[in-house]
């Protein structure tokens, strides 16, 4: 039965959401009604610091490496994430941090193995609302089929996809770093994902606007998950922080490069500006991001592909264009990283590469 969320009583929806079998897999998604403690601060140790700058263990041992666009996205063929050595795990961190997103085709890695791999990159995030696989709270389900389509895609169909452009969980004080998504069921056509380089987004702004933005902070809110929890009758497992601010331009701890760290998904205002100033500036920046056709990569998924991106330096949006009778299932493993900071001495990616004559 395909429930229409709006028409259902909350009680029924809650029951519906307790445990959901994913057709076409042997998996169940659960939405446990548990109360989680607030996240504790931690000191982030980035494995990218341990990488070999040439990243040979990945780039030379793959069967082939495809640079998908000049600014973002690399596709790796012929390596299984389930079998990485310690050196490869560290080199992978640096590759993702430099390239923004890296794709591994047709992976045999299990949920448990991907969760274990994710832990190498930082403490894993347990989402306050998102359903997760029955066997792991750290494998957040990304799901859509005829039962879920109306609920999960409602709203998305009535607005431009770019308005859902986001970096994951930036409402947290220490938001996501390296993040994995494995898609196990993919629609026959459609359901691509687009990633945008926030390094290049910064580099495309005029020096005058760059200087203006540097040192500013913006508020980030996870209110959509609170609404979503009420709307869909899913328990809110942890309070979402209400007072998070992050720098508008942040410095990456490993590459040292600056990136533009605002997005329509979770950023709400720029601290210190009047509301109409903040709204106008964010609108300008969101148009700049969403219109970045020449600093994005659009990925056409194959079954069991894994995308690995650095949420500190990219934004992404899923494209909900497939038919509602199509199934799309995957799970995300999200490592968390440092509290975002801006180092006034840091360089932009373009400046650094130009100086090294690599641009």
Binding site for Fe ion (CB under 5 A): 168
Task: Check binding of 184 to ligand AKG (CB under 6 A).
Answer: no
To ligand AKG, the closest distance from the beta carbon of 332 in angstroms equals 4
Kindly report the backbone phi and psi dihedral angles of residue 121, in degrees, each rounded to the nearest multiple of 5, phi listed first.
-100, -10
316 is catalytic: yes
User: Which of 46, 168, 203, 310 is the catalytic position?
Assistant: 168
Given candidates 57, 90, 174, 193, which one binds ligand AKG under the rule CB under 6 A? 193
Size of the residue set binding ligand AKG (CB under 6 A): 7
- CA 6, distance to chain mean position in Å, is 28
Comparing CA positions, the residue from 111, 107, 118 lying closest to residue 136 is: 111
Task: Check binding of 318 to ligand AKG (CB under 6 A).
Answer: yes
- Number of neighbours of residue 54 by Cβ within 10 angstroms: 11
Task: Check binding of 194 to ligand AKG (CB under 6 A).
Answer: no
Given candidates 79, 81, 181, 308, which one binds ligand AKG under the rule CB under 6 A? 181
Given candidates 46, 98, 168, 338, which one binds ligand AKG under the rule CB under 6 A? 168
Burial bucket for residue 76 (CB in 10 Å: 0-12, 13-18, 19+): buried
288 is catalytic: no
332 is catalytic: yes
Given candidates 127, 151, 312, 332, which one binds ligand AKG under the rule CB under 6 A? 332
Burial bucket for residue 60 (CB in 10 Å: 0-12, 13-18, 19+): exposed
Listed in sequence order, the residues at least 6 apart from 18 whose beta carbon sits closer than 8 Å to its beta carbon are: 30, 31
71 is catalytic: no
Comparing CA positions, the residue from 185, 224, 193, 182 lying closest to residue 334 is: 182
- Number of neighbours of residue 212 by Cβ within 10 angstroms: 14
Question: Looking at beta carbons only, is 133 or 168 nearer to ligand AKG?
Answer: 168
| Residues of the shown chain interacting with ligand AKG in the complex, contacts defined by CB under 6 A | 142, 168, 181, 193, 316, 318, 332
Catalytic residue numbers read 166, 168, 316, 332
């Amino acid at each position: 039965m395909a429930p229409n969320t709006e028409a259902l009583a909350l009680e029924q929806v809650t029951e519906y959401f307790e445990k959901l079998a994913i057709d076409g897999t042997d998996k169940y998604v659960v939405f446990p009604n548990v109360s989680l403690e607030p996240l504790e601060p931690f000191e982030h140790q980035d494995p990218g610091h341990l990488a070999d700058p040439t990243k040979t263990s990945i780039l030379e041992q793959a069967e082939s490496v495809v640079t998908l666009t000049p600014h973002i996205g690399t596709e790796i063929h012929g390596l299984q994430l389930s079998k990485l050595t310690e050196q490869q795990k560290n080199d992978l961190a640096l590759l993702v941090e430099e390239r923004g997103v890296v794709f591994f085709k047709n992976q045999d890695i299990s949920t448990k193995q991907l969760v274990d791999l994710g832990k190498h990159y930082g403490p894993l995030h347990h989402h306050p609302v998102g359903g997760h696989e029955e066997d792991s709270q750290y494998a957040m389900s990304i799901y859509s089929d005829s039962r879920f389509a109306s609920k999960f895609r409602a709203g998305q169909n009535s607005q431009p996809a770019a308005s859902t452009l986001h970096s994951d969980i930036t409402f947290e004080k220490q938001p996501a770093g390296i993040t994995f998504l494995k898609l196990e069921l993919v629609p026959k056509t459609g359901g691509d994902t687009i990633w945008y380089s926030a390094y290049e987004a910064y580099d495309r702004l005029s020096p005058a606007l760059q200087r203006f933005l540097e040192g500013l902070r913006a508020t980030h809110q996870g209110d959509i998950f609170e609404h979503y929890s009420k709307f869909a009758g899913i328990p809110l497992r942890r309070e979402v922080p209400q007072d998070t601010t992050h720098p508008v331009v942040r410095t990456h701890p490993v590459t040292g490069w600056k990136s533009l760290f605002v997005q329509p998904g979770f950023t709400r205002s720029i601290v210190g500006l009047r509301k109409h100033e903040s709204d106008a500036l964010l609108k300008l920046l969101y148009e700049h991001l969403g219109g970045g056709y020449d600093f994005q990569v659009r990925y056409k998924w194959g079954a069991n592909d894994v995308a690995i991106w650095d949420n500190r330096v990219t934004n992404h949006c899923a494209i909900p264009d497939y038919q509602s009778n199509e199934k799309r299932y995957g799970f995300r493993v999200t490592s968390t990283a440092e509290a975002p900071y801006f180092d006034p001495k840091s360089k932009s990616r373009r400046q650094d590469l130009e100086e090294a004559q690599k641009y």
